[in-house]
């Protein structure tokens, strides 16, 4: 049975603005009761009472402050007593409703938890993350693999509370401090002078590059720690070098390169790890344009090297890191995609017989965001949306690519992209270099586009999407900086072209599953890849995070520093991590049996969740308590 319209409106009003309702109710009661006392007491008790005394009597009765009843009138009539009791009960009830409604918000402001203003004890060798965002959260999840203390410095108290809530399980390792970035005392309170590294990761907003540069200028004189800047516009890179940043990354530009690489690589494979001494694959060489490692130099130097913005610095670092691996036939870890026309489409991993025919191990597969180990996914048919992760010797991987991964047709004739910012600029440039026609939809006027065709219009306007040629395109990139817009654009595109390959950009982890359900074949989560690269700067020499996988899993490379020889079976049993490869200067092994051993100096590639990997890293670092 439906409530009457009046009752529904009344209840809605009561709950929307309780304080106003309670005040109006109290005033109504005072007025009504004063009228009743003034007109009815002469008839009930035979004595007159003035308006002012009627009001005073009602107020004293409702607030229960106490009075001598004879001061106003005798109370010999039972109806008078009932009236007084009714005034007391309703008045007290209304006050009990009103007082908490008025005071509770102020009491909560006084007693609500807030991040502290400084650390309670001196620490050193810690990592300071200035600014809490999705990128920061992704970075911290990787840093938790190590034993490093992490301090989140956040200006906004509400954002700081969100950080405390998100990492409350790790409150002994992750501390949240509140303070102003432009205040030297704030940085002194987090022991910046003894920190291992500082990440300046202001949330994406207008002019955040200017703010970040100012922060770095302020703290450079206070610490020798490596400072990493997360910037919005890669064109500002050199100014951050002048300011004192050691490492500089542009998440949007990196994501643009990753998406381009994902769609344009030849063949459509991506190198995750290559143990070659002379590693200089195109992935890091190109991404390096948006990731800089610099030595601090002042802009006063006249030398062109004073800026030290060598585009190969990041790649050289990787080469050095992997210099101790097998030179003859190094281990290679890649992931592959299979466009329409590839012989592998429609076959299962079992049917491909990769290990039997090529000595390559299919480690796991991701299909539209769903993660499968080899055992879980070996009987699933490969689709254009499938990403297969393979590990094996370099020569075996090359043979497989040449024999099996020869695609009859590429989805390259036409691509459409919705959204145009720093990410879009990179994609447009890469597509032009690859000779692929790219039609761009943007809501604002842009000049200097690398695209052959530019359409001004709404991302979610079907007529605009049709005008961009979506029905004849092979690729669609949902590249707006609005997750909801990308989700809706994906729905429209999938309905207009059921066979198109859709790759979508995501800013929030919660949007990824929605984008896959909307019809995306692959989703690039910008905070994940940015956090991955940032963690690499800090964890260098501890662990290399190779992949961030769904369900909070990670794939890592760890070098064994433990003196004792350990069996694979024992390590996996003790930690819960899964070891997929072992290598050293002379050889590497995959599809390991449980009796295989790991010796000092070997490196391993493993995957698992946080706690198993933490245990594995500690054991391989030589922690005798765990061995």
What's the pTM value of the predicted model, to 2 decimals? Answer: 0.74
Confidence of residue 615 (pLDDT cuts 50, 70, 90): very high
| Residue 451: per-residue pLDDT | 47
Lowest mean pLDDT among 208-212, 250-254, 608-612: 208-212
What lies within 8 Å, CB to CB, of 370 at 6+ separation is 550
- Cα distances from 142 to residues 397, 537, 546, in angstroms, run 29, 11, 11
Pairing mode, if any, of strands 475-478 and 553-559?
A: unpaired
Q: What angle do CA 624, 625, 627 make, to 5 degrees?
A: 60
Query: Are 392 and 401 a contacting pair, CB within 8 Å?
Result: no
Confidence of residue 493 (pLDDT cuts 50, 70, 90): very high
Return the closest-CA partner of residue 627 out of 612, 578, 618.
Answer: 618
CA dihedral 246, 312, 602, 546 (to 10 degrees): 70
The token duo for 294 is 């610099």
Q: What angle do CA 137, 538, 552 make, to 5 degrees?
A: 40
Cα four-point dihedral sign 471, 475, 479, 483: positive
Q: Answer with the residue of higher pLDDT: 398 or 1.
A: 398
Q: Answer with the residue of higher pLDDT: 560 or 411.
A: 560
The DSSP H or E segment spanning 439 is: strand 438-442
Give the whole-angstrom CA distance, residue 294 versus residue 308: 6
Q: What's the mean pLDDT in 489-502?
A: 94
Query: Are 613 and 579 a contacting pair, CB within 8 Å?
Result: no
| Residue 589: per-residue pLDDT | 87
Q: What's the mean pLDDT in 90-114?
A: 73
Q: Among all chains, which residue has been given the structure tokens 């693999």?
A: 145
| Residue 287: per-residue pLDDT | 53
* pLDDT (tens digit per residue) in 31-89: 988 898 888 888 888 888 888 888 888 888 887 776 666 667 777 788 888 888 888 88
Q: Answer with the residue of higher pLDDT: 342 or 17.
A: 342
Q: Among all chains, which residue has been given the structure tokens 């409530």?
A: 3
| Residue 332: per-residue pLDDT | 86
Using DSSP's 3-state secondary structure scheme, residue 101 falls into helix
- pLDDT of residue 403 exceeding 80, the answer is no
Confidence of residue 476 (pLDDT cuts 50, 70, 90): very high
Confidence of residue 326 (pLDDT cuts 50, 70, 90): very low
Confidence of residue 625 (pLDDT cuts 50, 70, 90): low
Q: Identify the bridge partners of residue 58 per DSSP, sorted by sequence position.
A: none
Please compute Rg for the chain using Cα positions: 33
| Residue 416: per-residue pLDDT | 94
What lies within 8 Å, CB to CB, of 607 at 6+ separation is 363, 364, 547, 549, 553, 554, 555, 556, 577, 578, 580, 613
Query: Are 552 and 609 a contacting pair, CB within 8 Å?
Result: yes
| Residue 288: per-residue pLDDT | 55
| Residue 593: per-residue pLDDT | 83
Q: How many other CB atoms sit within 10 Å of the CB of residue 380?
A: 15
- pLDDT of residue 411 exceeding 60, the answer is no
Confidence of residue 626 (pLDDT cuts 50, 70, 90): low
| Residue 306: per-residue pLDDT | 33
Give the whole-angstrom CA distance, residue 570 versus residue 567: 5
| Residue 494: per-residue pLDDT | 95
| Residue 583: per-residue pLDDT | 86
Q: Quickly list DSSP for 519-543.
A: T-SEEEEHHHHHHHHHHHHHSTTT-
Q: Answer with the residue of higher pLDDT: 439 or 588.
A: 439
Q: 504: exposed, middle or buried (C-beta count within 10 Å: 0-12, 13-18, 19+)? A: buried
Q: Answer with the residue of higher pLDDT: 321 or 378.
A: 378
- pLDDT of residue 125 exceeding 50, the answer is yes
| Residue 586: per-residue pLDDT | 78
Confidence of residue 133 (pLDDT cuts 50, 70, 90): very high
Q: 531: exposed, middle or buried (C-beta count within 10 Å: 0-12, 13-18, 19+)? A: buried
The token duo for 548 is 């961030």
- Cα distances from 244 to residues 127, 291, 474, in angstroms, run 17, 15, 44
Q: Answer with the residue of higher pLDDT: 362 or 274.
A: 362
Lowest mean pLDDT among 153-167, 242-256, 311-325: 311-325
Q: Edge to edge, what strands does the sheet with 331-337 contain?
A: 269-274, 331-337, 386-393, 361-367, 370-373
- pLDDT of residue 310 exceeding 60, the answer is no
Query: Are 503 and 523 a contacting pair, CB within 8 Å?
Result: yes
* pLDDT (tens digit per residue) in 223-235: 999 999 999 888 8
Q: Answer with the residue of higher pLDDT: 149 or 52.
A: 149
Pairing mode, if any, of strands 415-418 and 475-478?
A: parallel
| Residue 283: per-residue pLDDT | 43
Q: What's the mean pLDDT in 572-597?
A: 87
Return the closest-CA partner of residue 412 out of 462, 480, 340.
Answer: 340
Query: Are 450 and 424 a contacting pair, CB within 8 Å?
Result: no
Q: CB-hemisphere CA count at 13 Å for 269?
A: 24
The token duo for 551 is 């369900």
Give the whole-angstrom CA distance, residue 354 versus residue 174: 43
Q: What's the mean pLDDT in 108-118?
A: 73
- pLDDT of residue 207 exceeding 90, the answer is no
Report whether the peptide linkage leading into residue 418 is cis, meaning its omega lies within 30 degrees of zero. Answer: no
| Residue 300: per-residue pLDDT | 41
The Cα diameter of the chain in Å comes to 116
Portion of the chain with pLDDT greater than 90, in percent: 33
- Cα distances from 500 to residues 335, 506, 554, 619, in angstroms, run 21, 19, 30, 47
- pLDDT of residue 240 exceeding 80, the answer is yes
| Residue 146: per-residue pLDDT | 92
| Residue 278: per-residue pLDDT | 35
Confidence of residue 452 (pLDDT cuts 50, 70, 90): low
- pLDDT of residue 311 exceeding 50, the answer is no
- Residues for the chain: how many in total? 627
Q: What's the mean pLDDT in 198-203?
A: 85
| Residue 308: per-residue pLDDT | 35
Q: 112: exposed, middle or buried (C-beta count within 10 Å: 0-12, 13-18, 19+)? A: exposed
- pLDDT of residue 342 exceeding 80, the answer is no
Q: What's the mean pLDDT in 267-288?
A: 50
- Average pLDDT score, the chain: 81
Q: Edge to edge, what strands does the sheet with 415-418 contain?
A: 453-456, 438-442, 415-418, 475-478, 501-506, 522-525
Q: What angle do CA 566, 568, 572 make, to 5 degrees?
A: 110
């Amino acid at each position: 049975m439906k409530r009457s319209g009046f009752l529904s409106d009344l209840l809605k009003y009561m709950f929307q603005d309780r304080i106003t309702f309670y005040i109006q109710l109290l005033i109504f009661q005072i007025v009504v009761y004063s009228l009743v006392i003034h007109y009815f007491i002469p008839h009930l008790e035979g004595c007159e009472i003035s308006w002012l005394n009627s009001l005073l009597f009602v107020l004293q009765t409702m607030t229960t402050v106490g009075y001598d009843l004879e001061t106003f009138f005798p109370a010999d009539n039972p109806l008078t007593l009932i009236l007084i009791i009714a005034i007391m009960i309703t008045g007290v009830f209304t006050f009990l409703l009103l007082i908490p409604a008025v005071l509770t918000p102020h009491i909560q402001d006084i007693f609500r938890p807030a991040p502290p203003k400084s650390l309670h004890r001196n620490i050193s060798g810690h990592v300071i993350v200035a600014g809490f965002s999705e990128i920061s959260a992704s970075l911290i999840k990787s840093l938790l693999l190590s034993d490093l203390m992490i301090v989140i410095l956040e200006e906004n108290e509400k954002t700081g509370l969100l950080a405390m809530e998100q990492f409350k399980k790790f409150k002994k390792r992750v501390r949240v401090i509140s303070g102003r970035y432009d205040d030297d005392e704030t940085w002194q309170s987090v022991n910046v002078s003894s920190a291992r590294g500082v990440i300046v990761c202001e949330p994406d907003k207008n002019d955040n590059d200017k703010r970040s540069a100012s922060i770095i200028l302020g703290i450079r004189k206070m610490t020798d720690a490596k400072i990493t800047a997360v910037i919005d516009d890669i064109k500002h890179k050199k100014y951050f070098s002048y300011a004192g940043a050691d490492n500089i990354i542009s998440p949007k530009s990196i994501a643009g390169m990753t998406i381009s690489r994902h769609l344009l690589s030849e063949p459509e494979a991506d190198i995750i790890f290559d143990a070659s001494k002379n590693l200089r694959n195109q992935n890091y060489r190109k991404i390096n344009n948006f990731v800089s490692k610099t030595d601090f130099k002042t802009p006063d130097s006249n030398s062109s090297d004073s800026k030290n913005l060598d585009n190969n610095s990041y790649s050289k670092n990787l080469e050095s890191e992997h210099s101790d691996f097998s030179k003859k036939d190094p281990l290679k870890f890649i992931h592959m995609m299979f466009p329409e026309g590839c012989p592998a489409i429609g076959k299962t991993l079992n049917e491909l017989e990769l290990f039997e025919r090529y000595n390559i191990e299919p480690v796991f597969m991701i299909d539209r965001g769903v993660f499968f180990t080899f055992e879980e996914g070996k009987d699933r048919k490969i689709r254009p949306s499938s990403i297969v992760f393979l590990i094996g010797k370099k020569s075996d991987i090359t043979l497989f690519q040449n024999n099996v991964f020869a695609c009859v047709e590429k989805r390259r004739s036409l691509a459409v992209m919705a959204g145009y910012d720093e990410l879009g600029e990179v994609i447009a440039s890469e597509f032009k270099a690859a000779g692929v026609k790219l039609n761009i939809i943007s809501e604002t006027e842009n000049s200097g586009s690398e695209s052959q065709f530019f359409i001004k219009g709404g991302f979610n306007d079907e007529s605009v999407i049709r005008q961009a040629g979506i029905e004849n395109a092979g690729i669609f990139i949902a590249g707006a900086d609005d997750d909801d817009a990308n989700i809706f654009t994906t729905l429209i595109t999938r309905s207009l072209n059921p066979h198109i390959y859709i790759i979508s950009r995501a800013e929030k982890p919660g949007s990824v599953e929605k984008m896959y359900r909307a019809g995306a074949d692959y989703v690039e989560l910008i905070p994940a890849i940015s956090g991955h690269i940032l963690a690499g700067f800090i964890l260098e020499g501890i662990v290399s995070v190779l992949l961030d996988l769904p369900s909070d899993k990670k794939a890592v490379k760890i070098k064994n520093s433990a003196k004792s020889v350990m069996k694979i079976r024992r390590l996996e049993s003790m930690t819960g991590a899964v070891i997929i490869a072992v290598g050293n200067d002379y050889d590497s092994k995959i599809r390991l049996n449980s009796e295989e051993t790991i010796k000092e100096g070997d490196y391993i590639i493993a995957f698992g969740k946080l706690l198993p990997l933490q245990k594995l890293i500690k054991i391989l670092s030589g922690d005798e308590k765990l061995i």
